[in-house]
Every structure is written in structure tokens, then in C-alpha cells.
Structure 1
Amino acid sequence: MFGLGSIYDVLIIAAFLGLQFFLSTRHSKFWGLILPVVFLVWRGTIIFTTDVNVLAEVLITAVGLLFLFGQFSAGRKQVKERQKKELEKMTSHDLN
């Protein structure tokens, strides 16, 4: 995919998914939308500027976006759980 060898490609993809999860757990949800937009622009330029199989490239783009938005969803869920725990902690201190 990146032309670096299969193990390096896997490591690069894992690093991007980890970065996506990290950005998605930030306070502002817009940080988590950076990588999907960059990925979409990158894949769009490949589709429109090279002579490739469009169906295959669209499938690769769709699967990539599914993984990125899956990480985004998991990160936002963790943020909500963290906020809920903080709120419960604050209400328990208010009762005392």
C-alpha cells in the first residue's frame, strides 16, 4: 500500500489508528475528524489523478473510513465515560 513492505505497512496503519484514537479522546471532537478528512482527500487525489481501478479504490477508501470512524466512535465513548465518572465523583463530594 505504501510501498515499504508489508510489515511496515501494517505498522504505519496501526500507528495511524492509534493516533486517530488519541485525537478522538481529546476534549474537542474536531481533533478526531482531522485524519478522516486527510485520508479522504489523499484517497480522492489518487482516484482522480491516476489511472486506477475506481471501484477498488472506492472500496479501499470506504474500508479505511470505516476503521477511522470506528476509532473515532470508541474515543468519543471513552471521553463520555470519563466525563460521567467525573460528574459522579463531583456529586458524591457535594453530598458529603
Structure 2
Amino acid sequence: MSQLIKRWCKAINTQAIQDIDSMLQRIRIPHNMRVIYLDPITTVDQQKTKYARLFVFHVDVPVCVAYLPPLPASHFVLYSLAMKLLHAPDSTEEFK
């Protein structure tokens, strides 16, 4: 995940990275998750696994759609959806 985010940071401009960081700071995460996402996107190497998991499962899609080019964004949205389905499906109905 960190390698992918590093590639994104190289592909987008500095202003977009600053916008992503400010968006991450404004995000309100449900209280039952017990995680606060305050780290900038450029420090992805030093982030804990729980932050990467939070990013993939809950935060990534708004960031991708808003700032990435359409093709990489659409591929990552599909990846995120697949990870959500494979990680913790509520029932077998989600696979149909």
C-alpha cells in the first residue's frame, strides 16, 4: 500500500498533496474505530498498519476520485471494493 501511495504522490502536484493532507485532517471517523488519522499522506512509510487498513477500507475512495487521474482512480476503487468484500463480508449475499 505504501508503494502505491508513493507513486500517487509522484504523479500528482504538490498542491494536490496538500489538499489530500487537509482532507485527511478534516475526516471524521466513527468513534467505534478508535483511530485518529492525522498523519500526512507523504509519511506513509512510517505509518502503522492500522492506518493503512483505515485508508484502504474507509478513506481511499474520496481521495482517489478527487485527486487521481481517472484510470488509476478507477482501478484503485475496484481494488478497494475487492479488499472490503474479502476482508469482512457480513453475509454470503455480498458475493452474489
Larger helix share, 1 or 2? 1
TM-score for the superposition, normalised by structure 2: 0.31
Q: Tell which structure's C-alpha radius of gyration is larger.
A: 1
Q: Greater relative contact order (Cα 8 A, min sep 6): structure 1 or 2? A: 1
- Normalised TM-score (structure 1): 0.31
